[in-house]
Structure 1
Amino acid sequence: MNIGFIGAGKVASKLGELLENAGHTVKYGVRTPVENKLSITEVTGFGEIIFLAIPYVSVAEFLRNKINLLQGKIIVDVTNPVNEDWSPIFLGEDSSGEQTARLLPKSRIVKAFSTVFAETMEQDKINYKGLKMTVFIASSDDEAAELVKNLAEEMGFNGLVLKGIENSRYMDALSNINLGLALNGGGTDSGIIYFQRSKNNSFKII
């Protein structure tokens, strides 16, 4: 599958490497193309799926007037509502995923990978003592959500679909918890592993 990234920072490059290892072709788009980086128009034309991997504070301005360019595309929003100094932006009864969906009403928005630190987006860190890190996925497009879930699992994660895009509110909250723990001395070599215990006391990692 051809996968494009809007943005070429640490998160984009780490996810891109995992996707390439899983057999996909990845290209990166930036405002000013250099070396092997494409223009935004070129990368959106190339990608069957587009990952939005730019700072949250830049999203609204960047996506303005991009409705037609990204029409019909599956957009995977990996942004987190934080300021440039990593301080959280509390959105109340709203979320970064819902905001992206409003900005791109003609696209298929999926919120995913936002609860995973870039530091742990590596093959030898996704799996912790035999347990796979969880990637939470929120979307109002069931088909797009399942496709992204499959991608996450090809990369080595466990994907967990939360349904409606409004559930990205909970993902934003989890991201803030992650960040708070990291800034209080926990560091970013950490992640979330979700499990469900059944009535017979067995459990499965999701």
Structure 2
Amino acid sequence: MKVGIIGAGNVGSRLAALISAAGHEVVVGNRDGDTPIEAAVKHGDIIIVAIHYAATADVLTKYADQLEGKILVDATNPLNEDWSPMLLGETSSAAEETAKLVPGVKVVKAFNTIFADVMTAEHQNRNGSLTTAFVASDDQDAMEQVANLAASMGFAPITINKLSAARYLEAVAHLNIELAVGQGGGTNAAFIYHRG
């Protein structure tokens, strides 16, 4: 697969390393880095957004034409500067708001419930269970492609065939952040969804 990543911070760079190790071609673009965002968007059939949610509207509208027809993975969480939840209400999510910005794009919510510290080969296996990667989208094919990508990276994907489920996934991420940061539990923590 050809994957472009928007954002070279902790999440973007860790995802890039896992994607590359899985044998896929990846280009990471950043506003201030050596590789511009445009290069990542042009390269990827799948584009992962790994920047602060507050910056997504500005960035994505700028590249909306180039993103058309591609799969866009929203790995963001709506957060305030102090890491507290940015509440979008019960009728929307960051992913759904992103989908409104780029109507010709297949939007998928994924990787937002996984801390960057767990996005390494040595931290994915949690006592014999792989870290769960939830993957939600209204587009079945796009969802399956991202789930396959996640599996190749060493995660255990769980698919949810509606983008509105991003509301729950973002709430799960807020819980994760509260446990790790607010309660001092640390970010070497991961969700395992086990079906008996």
Pick the TM interval, shorter chain. over 0.9
Greater mean deviation of Cα atoms: 66-75 or 11-20: 66-75
TM-score under structure 1 length normalisation: 0.91
CA radius of gyration, larger in:
1
Match of 2:172 in 1: 174
**Residue 86 (structure 2) pairs with residue 89 (structure 1):** yes
Tell me the residue number matched to 1:199. none
Q: CA deviation at 1:33?
A: 4.4
Q: Please list every run of 5 or more consecutive structure 1 residues that lacks an aligned counterpart in the other structure.
A: 197-202
Q: Distance in 2 between matches of 1:32 and 1:178?
A: 29
Q: Name 1:121's counterpart in structure 2.
A: 119
Q: Distance in 2 between matches of 1:62 and 1:41?
A: 10
Runs (5+) with no aligned partner, structure 2: none
With structure 2 as the length reference, what TM-score do the two structures score? 0.95
Q: Counterparts in 2 of 1:74-153, with a 5 A limit?
A: 74-92=71-89, 93-153=91-151
Secondary structure class of the residue paired with 2:135: strand
CA contact (8 A) 2:137 2:162 kept: yes
Q: What's the % identity of the aligned pairs? A: 43
Q: Show the counterpart of 1:52.
A: 49
Identify the residue that residue 70 of structure 2 maps to in structure 1. 73
Matched, 1:9 2:29: no
Q: Offset at 1:43?
A: 1.7
The CA distance in 1 between the partners of 2:140 and 2:130, in whole Å, is 23
Paired residues in the alignment total 194
1:29-53 Cα offsets, whole Å, 9 max, x none, are: 122442xxx2222221111111111
Give 3-state SS (helix, strand or coil) of 2:190's partner: coil
1:63 Cα offset (Å): 1.8
Write the distance in 2 (CA, Å) between the matches of 1:32 and 1:160. Answer: 34
Paired with 2:8 and 2:33, the residues of 1 have a C-alpha distance of 11
The alpha-carbon deviation at position 111 of structure 1 amounts to 0.5
Q: 1:163 aligns with which of 151, 161, 164?
A: 161
2:109 counterpart SS class: strand
